[in-house]
Amino acid sequence: MKKLFVAIFLFVSFSSIQAQTIDEVVDNFVVANGGKEKLNSITSLKIESIMNLEQMGSSANIKFIREKDKLFRVQSTNPMGGDEESFTVITDTAGYTFVPALNTPMGSMEASLTKLTPEEFAANAYLKDCDGFFAPLVNFSVKGHTATLDGSEKVNGVDCYKVNLKLKSGQQLIYYISKANYQVRRIQAAVPIALEMMGMSAMNRAFRGGERRGGGERGERNERGGDRSQRANRKIDIDFEKYKLFNGIPFPTKQTVQLGMMQLQLENTNFKINESIEEKWYLVK
């Protein structure tokens, strides 16, 4: 019996230490990134970015627009040319993606407007969070997320805490937070989430839809969910660099993801905080 009480005591003590450790890391992250009061006071966030597709010799202008608990929108020009822009828009009632007609050496695609399924809509609710650039970490437990500290690793030579955040929707984000200054140096996420962060969500959904509509053996595998499921579960890394202050809050101005032989770089050129959001960004057009 005595051994049992000792084991229980050690287990409770260990759990408490773990909880305090993850709380300490996240609290220090919040302080280093502007403080809870300043981050919680953000009601809208607009980010203007340029995506460079170096291997293709092209670029795209991207806008990320958030209004707290009401709106997420990402809108992108077409790196292949053309006047129409692709977008994903998620409000408090529904979500849609639009991709204009594409004509490339690899093939063509008709313009498409797709409504998110109830499952996709629920999974993407966190995107309307405005508490800074890495909003899910701020007040994560209040938002229904859970976090654990999974040791530490080096990212490009920088010692980082490895924070495993499970969103209340079940999705997973792994943050690598610098031990020196508590800046996020990397996020590891499933492919759809990572592409969402890079402003490519609409294009990603369009190509997934094309795969599902495709015929033959490939289409059949996708209908069964095999290839599609494997791709959705595959994780990739996004690296964050070159932090600058905007309204007293540090934001990364460069983010990079490696997709096979292709590297995507996003240069975040402008951050606008707590400006009014025009009604047009809510519209599906």
Encode pLDDT of 146-179 as tens digits: 999 999 999 999 999 999 999 999 999 999 999 9
Helix %, strand %, coil % of the chain (to 5): 35, 40, 25
- Residue 29 half-sphere exposure, CB side, CA atoms within 13 Å? 29
pLDDT of residue 218 exceeding 90, the answer is no
> Is the confidence at residue 219, as pLDDT, over 70?
no
Tracing tokens 């499952």 back to the chain, one arrives at 119
Local confidence band at 262 (pLDDT 50, 70, 90 cut-offs)? confident
The span from the CA of 2 to the CA of 244, in Å, is: 56
Q: How far, in Å, CA of 250 to CA of 181, rounded?
A: 11
**pLDDT tens-place string over residues 104-139:** 655 677 888 999 999 999 999 999 999 999 999 999
How far is Cα 259 from Cα 102, in angstroms, rounded to an integer? Answer: 21
Percentage, residues of the chain above pLDDT 70: 78
pLDDT (0 to 100) of residue 211: 41
Count, residues in the chain = 285
Domains detected in the chain: 2-282 (2.50.20)
Tell me which amino acid residue 96 is.
Y
CB atoms within 10 A of CB 170: 8
Local structure of 30: helix, strand or coil: helix
Instruction: Say if residue 241's pLDDT is above 50.
Output: yes
Q: Which of 91, 88, 108, 123 is nearest to 207 (CA)?
A: 108
Give the tokens for residue 217. 């053996």
| Alpha carbon distance 18, 40 (integer Å) | 26
Are 28 and 182 in contact by the 8 Å Cβ rule? The answer is yes
pLDDT at 205 (0 to 100): 62
- Select the more confidently predicted residue: 107 or 86: 86
